[in-house]
Structure 1
């Protein structure tokens, strides 16, 4: 059977937008805090450091406002009897497919922020040099069921996953 690259049908969970926003805010807050603290304590460079902190804060807020909604519109995934389909990326879109016969492991991960939003990431590892396929921003119960389904499907697939 031939497996073709095609657009996957399923969107990530809507809560992923808030999760991505929180990640971006935390990522921006760290350098802003460091620059601001240095600006307060380093007299001669105060203006430059506080200006840089303000610039990073503005950029972080713009990214936080724009990117998560965009990511929600473009991130898609689907699992069929034959393959796992994933499409990710905002500027550089990546479409990947993993035939069931090539899947080696299926993992579910829930970081602290994901747990807070009741989300999870399913990672599908194959023999590809490109690396694993990641389906982020899934409802935690859906992710657990998906991992179970993928495990059952791969056990029934002919092939050596290499």
Structure 2
């Protein structure tokens, strides 16, 4: 039986830099647009204030969000379950029985590849949808996927 404590394992520490970089790229779009508008247009004081507000929000987001996510995002597996905790403002804990696992997938986008990270998706026979573990280092994700696939094959039943 799994108690209702936080899962034991943190994601990779490199996930912090990944989340910071990804968020920074997102903030670059409005900041560059506002800077260009300010440089070529006659936006004046309202646009300068908007640029400052955007910059302050971006810096606050880039400083707080990655660290916060790192402290919250956790995972753990046992012989019986896959247990995850994720979220930022809305935090969620999911427990998926190994006997209900249908597929185990790893995904890596271009930016994850740069940081040596991968995401694990465990699809179960649940209406709630798959269980995700984001920000794992590649070796851990591959090892975990293989381990879960092996345990799923050894479990009696059809995962439905």
Q: Give the alignment's TM-score, normalised by structure 2.
A: 0.90
Q: What does residue 91 of structure 1 align with?
A: 89
The residue aligned with 2:119 is 121
Shift of 1:149: 0.6
| Superposed CA RMSD | 1.8
4+ aligned runs moved over 6 Å, structure 1:
none
Secondary structure of the 1:106 match is: strand
Per the alignment, residue 146 of structure 1 pairs with 144
Cα offset for 1:58? 1.6
Aligned equivalents of 2:102, 2:4: Cα separation in 1 = 20
Counterpart in the other structure of 1:12: 11
Kindly state the Cα deviation for residue 160 of structure 1 after the two structures are TM-superposed: 2.0
Give the aligned partner of residue 22 of structure 2: 23
> Structure 1, residues 30-53: CA drift from partner, whole Å, max 9, x if none?
12222333344443x454344323
The residue correspondences of 1:27-38 to structure 2 (distance < 5 A) are: 27-38=26-37
Query: Does residue 43 of structure 2 align to residue 59 of structure 1?
Result: no
Q: Which residue of 2 aligns with 1:106?
A: 104
Q: What's 1:131 paired with?
A: 129
Mapped contact 1:3–1:82 kept (Cα < 8 A): no
Distance (Å, rounded) in 1 between the aligned partners of 2:17 and 2:91: 21
Secondary structure at 1:152 match in 2:
helix
For these two proteins, the number of residue pairs brought into alignment is: 160
| Cα distance in structure 2, aligned partners of 1:158 and 1:83 | 14
SS at match of 1:86: strand
1:46-95 C-alpha deviation (Å, 9 max, x unpaired): 54344323322221111110111111111110111111000012322100
